[in-house]
Structure 1
Amino acid sequence: MTIERRRSEWIVEALALRLNQHRDEPATLAQRLYTPLRGWIQQGELTAGEALPSSRRLARALGIGRNTVLTAMERLAAEGFVVARQGAGLSVADLGPLPVAPAPRAAMVEAPPLSGRGQRLLDFCATLSGGHRAFAPGVPALDLFPRERWQRLLRRHQQRSPTDWFDYRSQGGLPALKSALCDYLRLSRSVRCHPEQILITQGAQQGFELITRLLADAGDTAWIEEPGYGGAQACFAMAGLAMQPIPVDAAGIDPEQAAGPPPRLIYVTPSHQYPLGVTLSLNRRLALLKTAERHRAWLIEDDYDSEFRYTSAPLASLQGLAEGAPVIYVGTFSKVLYPGLRLGYLVLPEPLVEVFRRASARLHREGQYVVQAALAEFIEAGHFARHVARMKSAYRQRQAWLRQALAPAVAQGLELSSGHAGMHLVARLASLEQEQRLVDTGHAAEVALSPLSRYYLGPGRPGLVLGYAGSDEGEIARAGGWLSRAWLDLRSR
């Protein structure tokens, strides 16, 4: 076989491989044929004067239409990458000396400084997980999400969507979704609301940002649970609030432990405290309501995963305890459905509804009305309730697998949280040094360990926040077995 023939065979085989590897791309076949050919010419893989296989041969070998091949070749010719040779088809054009890849840029003498707020924000990024591996907290069971049903709903609403859904919107969310949410929250969480009180957001974080911008000024005091959720801590810090950490014990946040200036905002996760997992007692709930009323403060109730309780029915919301309570209820679909959905909501006291709607439309705009319509139908048709029930059963099982994997360490003294609710367990450790060693060695073993100490604003207590919801049985067994052995090894030293 001649060199020219071998090169021609290589081009055909390489194109076939590329088309097969990228068959799910949205690009047209002609585009997927054009792109690698152009790249090989630019990179010098195909040299000046080299003949390309004929359009008939490519069409036959690749199993595609000849017109598709001609479209790609005509584009290459129009851009000057190939030229026609009379009686011999197409060959690579002579583009002259190809540019040499630039040498690596010299390091800057001094990087531009971040703002003080930017630097502080980075301090709150340490609790972010680096990927979907055991035991990243807050990751739901993505493998169990009903993707086909969801895609059918999206396609149907995309086809039916009115033109004005593609324009700027300022309704605070699709009315159908707000109505479906209102019915769900009243029944499942005893939230006192009507649909107009609901503001659809792009996740809970956007809700926190709106609250801090509209209801507090820089320097105002915000009470926050200690330890607490890093996303809320970061948002309050960026708003310039003076965060006052209030200790959490077995009954939840204790307002009697607060001192100093009166709060403007009080942030709590009453149903399932994050990350310790305790439930705020009724006495503490009533005390917080009285405290908020006395100081004319706003309570922020973050109800991030209340659906997942394993020993009792979901608890009534703090917001629903009293008519007209100064509570803003924050919810998200990231934990129940999937984080990439980027949809959350606020249930606002009536005096705040209009100002929050206008501010949200100005600062963030509104969008995803097709997705909101699909979600409204997902809830109204009962798919949401069935999915929650399925996830609840799966998470109970996954927690059991994790406890089984850690049983050898637990038998030797490793302390785990009760796990009566939620998507993670907390493992208590003996020292911050032990915590850091496990985190470091876990990274090398591809086990994402989130240190408990990083959830504290003040001196942290050692431990690990172990998310189990997003991993299957095999991954939990592998990672849990590794953690059990690693802890036992450290304990024996």
Structure 2
Amino acid sequence: MIVITPKLDMESKEALYIQLYKYIRNEIMEGRMEKNSKLPSIRTLCDHLNISRTPVVLAYEQLLAEGYIQSKARSGFFIMDIAESSFFSSNTLIEEKNNILSSPSRLYHASKYEEVLYDFGYGSVDLENFPFIKWKKMMNRCLLPESSELLLYGDLQGDEELREEIAVYLHQIRGVRCSPQQIVIGAGTYHSLDLLFQLLREDVSLLALEKSVNDGVQTLIEQYRFGIHSLELEHDGVRMEDVYKSKAQAVYVTPSHQFPFGMTMSVNKRIKLLNWANEEQAYIIENDYDGEFRYNSRPIPSLQSFDQNERVIYIGTFSKALTPSFRISYLVLPTRLLERFREKKHSYDQLASPIFQKTLQMFMKSGDFERHMRKMRNLYKKKHDILLQAIHEYLGDNVTIIGAGSGLHILLEVRNGMTEDELIESAKQRGVKIYPTSVYALEGERSAMPAILLGFGGLSEERIVLGIEQLKIAWGME
């Protein structure tokens, strides 16, 4: 068994578990810990270093997650053969990290090269409860010789049987009224929006949208050179006076769970917005972001479900319901835009995998998707409630929670005198990854009170609590 004697600085701002993790990782990468060597047990190392159990557990967990060590039942922890694993030699790893540092940082979850123990990224989902066995079984059926057509490009509008399942699902869950013929499958939200903006070029020169919006959507809009009118946000959605003054031909909204601030558009405003669109012959682009997850109240039907005049364009994705990697989204187009799509007044190509589409269709038809969604709603509600409880316990009156009750993220307004950048950097020193909100402002403004975005979908219940506890220390709220 290896004896480990790292130099741990008890006065350092860097957490003990990060110091221990880095020491062991470097020893492995430099070859000073040989493959298959056994590490000390957690209790042995705690006693040897005279530290508590938590830093050792967290350091070992991170090493396990990154593939430096492996756990063998009833035997302990052992050094992996890095040369034969999916990781790199030390030189390659250093070179790769340098490349990462020069690349744009992710705004939705941490890179695998970042030394993060608690990642509150909004783009993460609970993968431990993904139905791997059932999904694999159905995908294997797609790879039989009789399904060989799935190895080709696929239908431009998307798998017809999948569109039938989506139409039924949307009507049952979100009240959307549409036929399968109105649905166009895409490879993610941005892909679907790219198609939509191509179809709208003839009608739209000025687009109104919420004053804070996803940065990827902002970039896409800039490519089409629409004029932009910013809409102020109130506690129940966009300020309608701004809509009336906008003279826009289309408005983009996230009414179910506004991104990033999390408010839900009231029914009263939904009706007013629909009346405006009908009077002005304008379109409403409804991105039903996080619409499937609502915890403390009855679901509010989609905007599209109220629409009597085909003014709403509905867009959604399976990224949160399943996993982002499948890249399956969908548009529900009004008749006029559907005709434009079929006339091929666009450069759109179907990029969503036919194999994934067919697997999802079978998953939905079997009833497994509905059962999975029920399970995930209960799971995410529990995580949501644990997060709020931990914030109240550890952060107390130093913060204000914004946007609770739905979706997979909340915002924290923090009152401790730190700037947004300082809050993020101090959290990073404690191994916690949190995310800014200022980057989503259309006009680049920062609010007087910094607000931090916390996603909870990808963290375990235990790590949610431990992460918030570390934020208390990082932000000096002890």
Q: TM-score range by the shorter chain?
A: 0.7 to 0.9
Change (3 A) 1:234 1:361: closer
Kindly report the root-mean-square deviation, in angstroms, between the aligned alpha carbons of the 2 structures: 3.1
- Aligned residue in 2 for 1:92: none
CA distance in 1, matches of 2:354, 2:247: 40
- Aligned residue in 2 for 1:119: none
The aligned amino acid for 1:460 is: R
TM-score, normalised on structure 2? Answer: 0.72
**What SS does the aligned partner of 2:432 have?**
coil
Q: Is 2:440 the counterpart of 1:460?
A: no
> Among residues 119, 123, 143, which one is paired with 2:128 in the alignment?
143
- Aligned residue in 2 for 1:42: none
CA deviation digits over 1:239-272, x for unaligned, max 9? 2122222111111111212476521221111111
Name structure 2 gaps, 5 residues minimum.
1-33, 36-67, 69-82, 85-94, 96-103, 113-117
Comparing 306-315 with 202-211, greater Cα deviation is found at 306-315
Q: Is 2:280 the counterpart of 1:295?
A: yes
Task: Say if 2:199 and 2:345, in contact at 8 Å, map to a contact too.
Answer: no
- Aligned residue in 2 for 1:274: 259
CA distance in 1, matches of 2:253, 2:237: 9
> Among residues 307, 310, 316, which one is paired with 2:295 in the alignment?
310
- Aligned residue in 2 for 1:441: 426
Cα distance, 1:439 vs structure 2: 0.8
Q: Is 2:471 the counterpart of 1:486?
A: no
Cα distance, 1:377 vs structure 2: 1.2
Comparing 234-243 with 273-282, greater Cα deviation is found at 234-243
- Aligned residue in 2 for 1:59: none
Change (3 A) 1:215 1:410: same
Task: Say if 2:208 and 2:229, in contact at 8 Å, map to a contact too.
Answer: yes
- Aligned residue in 2 for 1:156: 141
**What SS does the aligned partner of 2:252 have?**
strand
Change (3 A) 1:448 1:265: farther
Comparing 330-339 with 351-360, greater Cα deviation is found at 351-360
> Among residues 127, 138, 160, which one is paired with 2:107 in the alignment?
127
Comparing 155-164 with 330-339, greater Cα deviation is found at 155-164
Q: Is 2:178 the counterpart of 1:198?
A: no
**What SS does the aligned partner of 1:464 have?**
strand
- Aligned residue in 2 for 1:370: 355
CA distance in 1, matches of 2:244, 2:143: 53
**What SS does the aligned partner of 1:479 have?**
helix
Change (3 A) 1:403 1:282: closer
Aligned residue-pair number: 378
CA distance in 2, matches of 1:437, 1:208: 34
User: Deviating runs (4+, > 6 A) in structure 1?
Assistant: none
CA distance in 2, matches of 1:266, 1:252: 13
TM-score, normalised on structure 1? Answer: 0.70
Cα distance, 1:327 vs structure 2: 0.8
CA distance in 2, matches of 1:220, 1:431: 43
- Give runs of aligned pairs for residues 20-39 of structure 1, distance below 5 A: none
CA distance in 2, matches of 1:359, 1:471: 43
CA distance in 1, matches of 2:298, 2:342: 33
Task: Say if 1:333 and 1:339, in contact at 8 Å, map to a contact too.
Answer: yes
> Among residues 334, 345, 368, which one is paired with 1:349 in the alignment?
334
Task: Say if 1:217 and 1:241, in contact at 8 Å, map to a contact too.
Answer: no
Name structure 1 gaps, 5 residues minimum.
1-12, 15-20, 22-34, 37-103, 105-121
Cα distance, 1:346 vs structure 2: 0.4
Task: Say if 1:218 and 1:241, in contact at 8 Å, map to a contact too.
Answer: no
- Aligned residue in 2 for 1:388: 373
Change (3 A) 1:416 1:165: same
Task: Say if 2:190 and 2:220, in contact at 8 Å, map to a contact too.
Answer: yes
Task: Say if 1:219 and 1:240, in contact at 8 Å, map to a contact too.
Answer: no
Give the fraction of aligned pairs with identical amino acids, expressed as a percent: 30
Cα distance, 1:180 vs structure 2: 0.5
Cα distance, 1:205 vs structure 2: 0.9
The aligned amino acid for 2:160 is: P
